């Protein structure tokens, strides 16, 4: 899914904060509600919406009876709360190895209001997170019965959230520490 930075001392830079979730799932106490966040590094080409380093926020929620509808409602609530009720939210199918089904929450682009521009690659929509129902094989691996227990996870990059919040065309701007930009966003 992501290319990794390998260091010369046999260490790597983490590509995601999901390892935190794995430790909590091992405790086998329901419900599991974990938020994890931190800096992550991915060896990929930088563009308007990708950087080699960003701050990731992830959530996992596991208990009996959770459904995809709960996940979509939660994400919609978070995005509408953050961006306002006028921003549109939609979901597209995605593939992630540890969730099934997987979804990509999108919002209408702040820069072009859905018309299509370079930062949103002409789509008019920006994928703002990755999410899905935790795959039954993951549940089995951690000793949960997938017939009884279900859960969901979603993760997002805070800098991409910020570009859509402040309407800045490229993510790098968020890390430039340009005082004029900071004042605009204050």
The footprint of Zn ion (CB under 5 A) covers: 109, 111-112, 117, 120
Nearer to Zn ion, 111 or 134 (CB): 111
**Which residue has tokens 């969901």?**
152
Provide, rounded to whole angstroms, the least separation between the CB of residue 53 and Zn ion.
24
In order of 92, 162, 176, the CA distances from 80 in angstroms are: 17, 14, 27
**Residue 169: count of CB within 10 angstroms of its CB:** 16
Cα 69–Cα 73–Cα 78 angle in degrees, nearest 5: 150
Question: Closest distance between Zn ion and the C-beta of residue 92, in Å?
Answer: 16
Name which of 73 and 118 has its Cβ closer to Zn ion: 118
Q: Looking at beta carbons only, is 104 or 132 nearer to Zn ion?
A: 104
Q: Which is nearer to Zn ion, 109 or 134 (CB)?
A: 109
Give the residue at shortest CB distance from Zn ion.
109
Q: How far is the CB of 119 from Zn ion (least distance, A)?
A: 5
Shortest reach from residue 178's CB to Zn ion, in Å = 22
Which of 94, 100, 103, 104 shows the shortest CA–CA distance to 137?
A: 100
Nearest in space to 33 (alpha carbons), one of 57, 63, 55: 63
Question: Across the chain, which distance is largest between two alpha carbons, in Å?
Answer: 54
């Amino acid at each position: 899914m992501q290319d990794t930075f390998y260091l010369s001392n046999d260490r790597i830079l983490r590509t995601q904060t999901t390892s935190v979730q794995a430790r909590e799932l091992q405790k086998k106490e329901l419900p599991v509600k974990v938020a994890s966040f931190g800096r992550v590094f991915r060896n990929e080409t930088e563009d308007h919406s990708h950087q080699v380093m960003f701050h990731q926020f992830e959530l996992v929620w596991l208990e009996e009876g959770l459904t995809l509808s709960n996940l979509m409602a939660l994400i919609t609530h978070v995005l509408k709360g953050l961006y306002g009720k006028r921003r549109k939210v939609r979901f597209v199918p995605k593939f992630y190895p540890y969730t099934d089904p997987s979804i990509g929450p999108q919002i209408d682009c702040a820069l072009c209001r859905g018309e299509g521009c370079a930062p949103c690659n002409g789509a008019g929509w920006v994928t703002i997170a990755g999410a899905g129902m935790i795959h039954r094989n993951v549940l089995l691996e951690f000793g949960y019965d997938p017939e009884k227990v279900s859960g969901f996870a979603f993760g997002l990059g805070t800098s991409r959230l910020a570009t859509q919040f402040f309407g800045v065309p490229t993510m790098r701007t968020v890390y430039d520490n340009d005082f004029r930009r900071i004042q605009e966003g204050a």
